[in-house]
A = this chain, B = another copy of it.
């Protein structure tokens, strides 16, 4: 008998509904079903009366529930006695782009769930550019974002990985491709004026891009301003023009065949991608624990963990 099984039983005994318990417990319906079956097999008693429509506790089930409750409590007690904090529970609200959700956050959340199984993760996805403002406004606890040039003092930033910004062009035959082939994009004198650009509407990438254009004294022909790197990559893939995005997003887009990098000189800078959160909120053990797990997952040196990380 193990506490995991007991927790499943207790949840089902509470909800009297396998589906709901399976969601609360973050496991599949079939796993819940089999766990209960194994349990009944092990105790040799039917604990939950169920037809295909409803679930009820049996007599032995009621007795067993008392036992299960006490046993789980005892376990939690001894853990707390040993100063174990993995009992943390509550909810953390995250904000990130679709790409970041599985290219950056996934490994973190996997480790986090193992260490703190009782914490619920509420994840919102959208344009990566909105991350900082959502954090500042307090709507989310932690965001995955590129590091802004000027980090507001209220914010903490934990750099996880770098990804170079790249100009992207469609691979297939199209007007854009033809123009590119008729010259050297690395040449300072290359004529960009006739090429339609698809640029970010706002955010760090927009800032870095504008800066680059200014430095090269290029006045780009803006075809579209788009929210979200993913959308930029998609539009470039459709042949609508040249875009900008971090390599990370391109790699994850599944459009690597339809899109290719455009070499330019000087190169575009790299985006420092990492976690972003209000310093104040980081004092909460809940938020802090996710922050720490992220640091461990990406092997961030301890001294960088809570600073603003100039770099």
Residues of A at under 8 Å CB distance from B? 1-3, 43-45, 60, 63-64, 67, 70-71, 74-75, 77-79, 81-84, 86
| Interfacial chain B residues near A78, Cβ < 8 Å | 43, 63-64, 67
A77 to B64, CA, bound (A): 11
The docked-state distance in angstroms from the alpha carbon of A86 to that of B1 is: 14
Main secondary structure of the interface of A (DSSP, over half): helix
- Residues of B contacting A82 in the complex (Cβ-Cβ under 8 angstroms): 43-45, 60
**CA of A263 to CA of B79, assembled, Å:** 72
> Copy number of this protein in the oligomer?
2
* Interchain residue pairs with CB less than 8 A apart (9): A43-B84, A44-B83, A44-B84, A44-B86, A63-B81, A64-B78, A67-B77, A71-B75, A74-B74
With contacts A44-B84, A63-B81, A67-B74 known, what are 12 further pairs, Cβ within 8 A? Answer: A1-B2, A1-B3, A1-B75, A43-B78, A43-B79, A67-B75, A67-B77, A67-B78, A70-B74, A71-B71, A71-B75, A74-B74
Complex contacts, A74 vs chain B, CB 8 Å: 67, 70-71, 74
In the bound assembly, the distance between CA atoms of A78 and B49 in angstroms comes to: 19
Chain B residues within 8 Å of A45, by CB? 82
Would you give the shortest CB distance from A222 to chain B, in whole angstroms?
55
Q: In the assembled complex, which residues on chain B have CB atoms less than 8 Å from the CB atom of A60?
A: 82
Distance (whole angstroms) from the CB of A72 to the closest CB of chain B: 9
List residues of chain B with CB within 8 A of the CB of A70: 74
**Complex CA–CA separation, A258 to B79 (angstroms):** 64
CB neighbours (8 Å) of A77 from chain B are 67
Q: Which residue of the partner chain B has the closest CB to A47?
A: B82
